Structure 1
């Protein structure tokens, strides 16, 4: 599998691209991970269909390499844009402020690949797929025609701050049953009311995007009536033990509303971290990242290669047809 990274002062959105190549792979270290990749290799002749992966809050391309490899083995070029101020290098503004930007960043990434001297000539950008997990799942729902607003985020957190606390505050803190829980909930509500009063409905359309998958998405701020019949094929991946985005407020709410969606996987033993493969180091067992992203007891990661193939099959069925 080939890899190139595109970043410069003139490119606002850095890109990591994986693609089919006949060149030999070499050991490559990226952050805490060791991979086998062909860096800056000559791509196989195309055209190859294109899938973009929209990472979760604070995410990186390296936690999606296993999925990328499966997609590449099925003939796809895979592009991962680094979302502005909501990535592993810069986690300064996660949440609704950057969710407004993400769908347009996906479109800009398609433009950049189409113009890329190495990959543009071998990549088809006429029928594109998008996969997103968590905040990336929010991006995918937006691209499917879903309409959301920061005010809906505020209203959800006003009503369900205790049940869905981590969705409203992220990785800052957790409720633990202690005497500070009341203060945490009150503070969160005050900040959310102050920051997210915008009732403007947000959506994004790009006619090149023909199919999307939302994995364990943040979805509580969507007007679900806009997702009854999405504009393009929408696949869902759900995790029954997700405590970061409580399923009944998010993925299950979309699943129960949508009349045309495909449930690619509904994994009752999985947690929010099932979308990450390889799973990153999460720190000690008392860290917030460990508590929200580690695999619940009973979840078997050996299921993930089959899931990744289902993702590839979904995109093949919708992007490779005439």
Structure 2
């Protein structure tokens, strides 16, 4: 009996057993690094998948992150919904690893893309239209590619997709779901709020480059989770085609992307009712995973949440709500026993 067949056989027998209280199964978590093709310039692009695994063991250290999962363990047999994750400007695909592992535990495959030219190691595309439109194109390309992956291709259900977008990743998620950003909105905002250097330096320098191609919406996207999203470029009409459920979070004390002009404005302007949550006292970085000791030493500014804010408690609630939201808005995971 082959190892793969034995794994499928055992999983089928166990998932066929009744579960007390009808609770969803809790899998182990596997990590898998992928090399994809950037649709902007056809150069290599990396991503990390978090997936339900039959193997429950240990942690993995990657860079400054301590992740509750193991690399390339056998995937749990079944068909699991796909969630793509878009990090913020200059960020990392691992910055939300606890959210990704919480979803993988409950039967979702989460694919976190490292946006070329806009990540912790390379910021060469920040402030260019090829980045504004390239990011959502990269997410669509990742959805295409994971279905062909040798390890996960048989387990992923890429017909219905959720998107998690943090900060600038929220803008990318909205474009992927049908939003149409307009630079004029950003310019008008900066005429009223010239002291907002974070946003308005971007407006002054945003450049059209040779690689720019306007991104098309992806009809596979069924729901969005937006965390402290960048929303300055979207008016009400620009969001009219975003016809999917949205769960939206902001920190009440976010001084990088002011909630009144970004998250709260999006909640008012989206065509359908957004489930809008505000975390009291929290700043912009509270939605990144709780910091390891290495992260606190290397980047303390990303770890300081202010007096009275408990990032662990915030994430316990956020992760639970994300599982609930995607369980309601995407096709339920199918275990081997159900196929």
Residue aligning to 2:52: 20
Q: What RMSD in Å do the two structures reach over aligned CA positions?
A: 2.7
- Residue pair 2:86, 2:164 contacting (<8 A) in 1 also: yes
What is the Cα deviation at residue 28 of structure 1? 2.1
What is the Cα deviation at residue 155 of structure 1? 3.5
SS at match of 2:317: helix
Unaligned runs of at least 5 residues, structure 2: 1-28, 334-339
Residue aligning to 1:3: 31
Q: Which of 56, 67, 73 is the matching residue for 2:88?
A: 56
What is the Cα deviation at residue 300 of structure 1? 1.7
- Residue pair 1:146, 1:224 contacting (<8 A) in 2 also: no
Residue aligning to 1:245: 257
2: distance between equivalents of 1:58 and 1:262?
27
Unaligned runs of at least 5 residues, structure 1: 171-191
Residues 262-299 of structure 1, C-alpha deviation per residue, up to 9 Å, x if partnerless? 32522122111121013473669xx9x72x77312221
CA 1:120–1:218 in structure 2 vs 1: closer, same or farther (change >3 Å)?
Answer: same
Pairwise mapping of residues 261-276 of structure 1 onto structure 2 (< 5 A)? 261-276=273-288
- Residue pair 2:170, 2:230 contacting (<8 A) in 1 also: yes
2: distance between equivalents of 1:73 and 1:266?
26
2: distance between equivalents of 1:228 and 1:115?
33
- Residue pair 1:239, 1:271 contacting (<8 A) in 2 also: yes
CA 1:8–1:258 in structure 2 vs 1: closer, same or farther (change >3 Å)?
Answer: closer
- Residue pair 2:243, 2:272 contacting (<8 A) in 1 also: no
Pairwise mapping of residues 138-157 of structure 1 onto structure 2 (< 5 A)? 138-157=171-190
- Residue pair 1:50, 1:125 contacting (<8 A) in 2 also: yes
1: distance between equivalents of 2:228 and 2:99?
15
- Residue pair 1:242, 1:271 contacting (<8 A) in 2 also: yes
Residue aligning to 1:113: 146
- The number of aligned residues is 295
Pairwise mapping of residues 34-113 of structure 1 onto structure 2 (< 5 A)? 34-97=66-129, 98-113=131-146
1: distance between equivalents of 2:213 and 2:269?
19
1: distance between equivalents of 2:139 and 2:98?
21
Residues 234-257 of structure 1, C-alpha deviation per residue, up to 9 Å, x if partnerless? 221121110010111111111122
Residues 150-188 of structure 1, C-alpha deviation per residue, up to 9 Å, x if partnerless? 3433333333221x2223347xxxxxxxxxxxxxxxxxx
Residues 30-64 of structure 1, C-alpha deviation per residue, up to 9 Å, x if partnerless? 11223342211110011001101100111112221
Give the TM-score, by structure 2 length.
0.79
What is the Cα deviation at residue 232 of structure 1? 1.6
Matched, 1:214 2:231: no
- Residue pair 2:54, 2:75 contacting (<8 A) in 1 also: yes
Which runs of structure 1 show a deviation greater than 6 angstroms over 4 or more consecutive aligned residues? 8-11
CA 1:154–1:12 in structure 2 vs 1: closer, same or farther (change >3 Å)?
Answer: farther
- Residue pair 1:239, 1:272 contacting (<8 A) in 2 also: yes
- Residue pair 2:244, 2:272 contacting (<8 A) in 1 also: no
Residue aligning to 1:124: 157
Residue aligning to 2:20: none
What is the Cα deviation at residue 308 of structure 1? 1.2
